[in-house]
Amino acid sequence: MKLSNRITGLTGGGSDGWDVFTKAREMIAAGEDVTELTIGEHDIRTAAPILQQMHQSALGGHTGYAAVPGTRALRQTVAARVAARTGVPTGPENVLITPGGQAALFAAHIAACDPGDTALYIDPYYATYPGTLRGAGARPKAIAARAENAFQPRAADIAAQARGAASLLINTPNNPTGVVYGQQTLSEIAALCCAEDMWLISDEVYDTQVWDGTHLSPRSLPDMAERTLVVGSMSKSHAMTGSRCGWIIGPAAAIRHLTNLATHTTYGVPGFIQDASTFALQQGAAFEAEIAAPFLRRRALAQKVIAAQNIVGLVPAQGAMYLMLDIRATGMTGEAFAFDLLATHHIAVMPGESFGQAAAGHLRIAMTVADDAFEAALKTTLEHAARRAGEHAGHQPRGHALP
Ligand code: PMP
């Protein structure tokens, strides 16, 4: 039977960017020892008190259909947290609870784009973005944020593609670059969205993982609350990736329509997951800082190790659980280097190219293994890059032994 073009064309054909990851998993399945710095998932599990709450809620009977837009308690808790963090008046009517940020990204584009509409997004991008936009019926168009500009998107580059576009998707703190968009970048993007009458879809799933500066939600900028759909999630902030609980924040009218969409697609999120999420959010900022702490600590370790050599560059590591390394001095693509590193040292990292052409010649390192193993793998990666760079330059490397 013929399948629809919509589903067969979802990934756009070609490599899905996960080849190194797949190879690493095959090696692990075959019993080999591989240090995996690939996937964006904590090396801790969901905290026991959150699981106890989930258990109690389920035992207490919250196992039937839950209210489709989300429970009143969770919508209220999310709204109060967003209002406190951004200063934008936000009530439960502005919140739809979704099965994770991924479902929220899809729903937000259904809300913003008609079939065939252009949906802009920034390259480098989180790997699912183009497929999500295509799946929602939109025509994805990438706009490069350049390494030369420290991966901050430039409003002029977006403006050049914005005529007639229905939406722009941004992500700060950013996966894969670890960059946090500055006030000026966001103000210019906001002004452009107003001028071009575009929706801004703001993926803020890493908003509790900011190492330098502060997180600025563009929904709080002038005239933006009415045209911004914020995507949030429990996954990264509370180490609840498997619970599949996220949300969309937006104007009440948009949330009403998105609730209709949820009725016809997901039919909501399990009540016991929502109760556990409400409890988790009530633990406050100190708990969120505890979840983020290992990444902050490993970033400091990495900055020290990287500063001791001059072959590999570190993109400003301002937030999220990733580092982006510039390995262009090796003369290799990110993908060739990542396969080489995996084969030689059994260390798995993501090639920059998996996240778009703007990240070519880079590697994304997830800071998601224990500190010792992380530091050792990073040192080996840098030594490997120095060796390859030396070969590339036609001579052996001199004097960049690592501490
Ligand atoms: N956005 C970004 C930028 C991500 O990195 C991820 C997950 N890695 C998601 C959205 C989706 O996360 P979830 O569905 O677990 O909330």
Distance 233 CA to ligand 1 centre (A): 8
Token reading at 102: 């991924």
pLDDT at 18 over 90: no
Give 121's strand partners: 142, 169
Distance 400 CA to ligand 1 centre (A): 37
What confidence tens digit (pLDDT) does each residue in 228-279 have?
A: 999 999 999 999 999 999 999 999 999 999 999 999 999 999 999 999 999 9
Give dist(CA 303, CA 298) in Å, integer: 9
Ligand 1: residues with CB < 6 A are 40, 100-102, 126, 171, 175, 203, 205, 233, 235, 241, 246
Secondary structure letter of residue 47 according to DSSP: P
Distance 126 CA to ligand 1 centre (A): 8
pLDDT of residue 396: 52
pLDDT of residue 151: 97
pTM: 0.96
When the pLDDT of each residue in the chain is averaged and rounded to a whole number, the result is 95
User: Using 50, 70 and 90 to split pLDDT, how confident is the model at 400?
Assistant: low
- Taking alpha carbons only, the member of 281, 380, 267 closest to residue 47 is 281
Q: What is the mean pLDDT of residues 194-204?
A: 98
User: In Å, what is the CA distance from 267 to each residue of 3, 80, 90, 97, 103?
Assistant: 25, 24, 23, 11, 12
Atom of ligand 1 nearest to the CA of 41: 8
pLDDT at 16 over 80: no
Atom of ligand 1 nearest to the CA of 175: 3
Lowest mean pLDDT among 2-16, 66-80, 268-282, 360-374: 2-16
User: Using 50, 70 and 90 to split pLDDT, how confident is the model at 398?
Assistant: low
